Structure formats: structure tokens, C-alpha cells
């Protein structure tokens, strides 16, 4: 059996209100456009999750909301544990997933570190290691349960950043 993880860093957030708590920062206009574009990219490439696990941070929730229209039929749950989570925490949340294709919307540095550690061979992309906002990795695992996903077992299927996706539209 093959399980597929779609790992997305939240889209570009707004820093205009210094009184907002980090958890409450919203997306800026570029972030909103990026989230919508990346949802469309996933749909157009056939990467359709059955389940989304999303950080409770406002910018992650809004990223999901931007992606959601293109990903019909995807169930979502929101997880405090994904807010600025370390890779092992992200894997712990993933271990509870119930669908064969799962989208996680999280944060750096955890998303970038996890992405790099999961794949046997990193994609040939200049921005992969920095994992910019709304970067999205699609990675397959030849395991039968999410709890069996370990670093180095993943096969990179796809990777994109919003600037390329929006530029190609």
C-alpha cells in the first residue's frame, strides 16, 4: 500500500499589526492568492487529499481556506500541536491520520526540516531547503500505516512554490 503526504507551509502572512499575537496573524493579499493557487495546483496535478491536518494558527487556517475550494471532499481537523511544531511532533499528529492521502498545513522551521528528512532524494529545486511560504511537497511512502512513516522512507512525487504556480497560470 502507498500512503501520500502533502506537506504545505502556510502562505505569506501579514506583519502590519504589531499588536497581534503571532498565532493570530492573518494572510496578506499575496498569501491569499498563493493558497488559492496551490489548491488549484494540487487539484490539477491529481494530488487530492482525503484528510487535512491544519495548525490552529490563523495564517494556517486561512491557507487551508484558500486551498479548500479546489480540494472538495477533504475532511479537516485543526491541531494546536502543529503550531510551530518540530518534525517529530508533526509525525506524531500524522500517525493518527485515517486517510491514504493527507495534507498537513504547518510552519517553518518544522515543515522544512521534516520535508528534507522524509525524502530519500530531495527534488532538484533551488528553494526546497528553504521551504518558502506555501511551498508544497508531495511524497509517497510504501507503508500501510501512517505510524510507520520514518525519515528517509519517502519518495518525492512533486514539489512547487506559489511563484512558479502563479506564473504558470
Q: What is the 3-state secondary structure (H, E, C) of 34-84?
A: HHHHHHHHHHHCCCCCCEEEEECCHHHHHHHHHHHHHCCCCEEEEEHHHCC
Q: Measure CA of the first residue to CA of the last residue in the chain; give whole Å.
A: 34
Residue 34 Cα distances to 40, 160, 162, angstroms: 10, 11, 5
Per-residue confidence band for 44, with pLDDT thresholds at 50, 70 and 90? very high
Question: Which residue is associated with the grid cell 512554490?
Answer: 161
Number of domains in the chain: 1
Ordered strands of the 75-79 beta sheet? 75-79, 51-55, 101-106, 3-9, 136-141, 155-160
Mean pLDDT of 80-90: 98
Q: How far is CA 146 from the centre of its chain?
A: 16
Task: Quote the pLDDT of residue 144.
Answer: 96
Collect all residues with Cβ–Cβ distance below 8 Å to 95 and sequence separation of at least 6.
146, 147, 149
Q: Which of 119-123, 129-133, 164-168 has the lowest mean pLDDT?
A: 164-168
Mean pLDDT of 11-15: 91
Task: Quote the pLDDT of residue 169.
Answer: 57
Query: How far is the C-alpha of 23 from the C-alpha of 15, rounded, in Å?
Result: 12
Whether 168 has a pLDDT exceeding 70, the answer reads no
Report the predicted TM-score, pTM, of the whole model to 2 decimal places: 0.96
Whether 17 has a pLDDT exceeding 90, the answer reads no
Rg of the Cα trace of the chain?
15
pLDDT in tens, 67-78: 999 998 899 999
Percent pLDDT > 90 in the chain is 91
Query: How far is the C-alpha of 24 from the C-alpha of 10, rounded, in Å?
Result: 13
Whether 105 has a pLDDT exceeding 80, the answer reads yes
CATH of the domain at 19: 3.40.50.1240
Q: Which of 17-26, 81-90, 135-144 has the lowest mean pLDDT?
A: 17-26
User: What DSSP state is assigned to residue 27?
Assistant: B
Note down the domain range covering 126: 3-168
Across the chain, how many H-helices and E-strands are there? 5, 6
Q: Are strands 51-55 and 75-79 parallel, antiparallel or unpaired?
A: parallel
Amino acid at each position: 500500500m502507498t500512503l501520500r503526504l502533502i506537506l504545505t507551509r502556510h502562505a505569506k502572512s501579514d506583519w502590519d499589526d504589531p499588536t497581534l499575537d503571532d498565532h493570530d496573524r492573518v494572510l496578506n493579499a499575496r498569501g491569499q492568492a498563493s493558497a488559492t493557487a496551490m489548491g488549484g495546483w494540487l487539484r490539477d496535478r491529481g494530488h487530492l487529499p482525503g484528510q487535512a491536518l491544519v495548525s490552529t494558527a490563523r495564517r494556517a487556517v486561512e491557507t487551508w481556506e484558500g486551498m479548500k475550494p479546489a480540494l472538495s471532499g477533504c475532511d479537516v481537523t485543526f491541531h494546536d500541536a502543529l503550531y510551530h511544531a518540530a518534525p517529530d511532533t508533526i509525525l506524531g499528529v500524522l500517525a493518527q491520520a485515517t486517510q491514504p492521502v493527507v495534507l498537513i498545513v504547518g510552519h517553518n522551521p518544522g515543515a522544512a526540516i521534516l520535508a528534507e528528512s522524509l525524502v530519500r532524494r530531495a527534488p532538484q529545486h533551488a528553494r526546497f531547503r528553504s521551504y518558502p511560504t506555501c511551498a508544497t511537497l508531495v511524497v509517497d511512502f510504501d507503508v500501510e500505516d501512517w505510524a510507520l512513516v520514518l525519515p528517509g522512507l519517502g519518495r518525492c512525487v512533486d514539489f512547487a512554490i506559489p511563484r512558479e504556480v502563479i506564473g504558470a497560470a
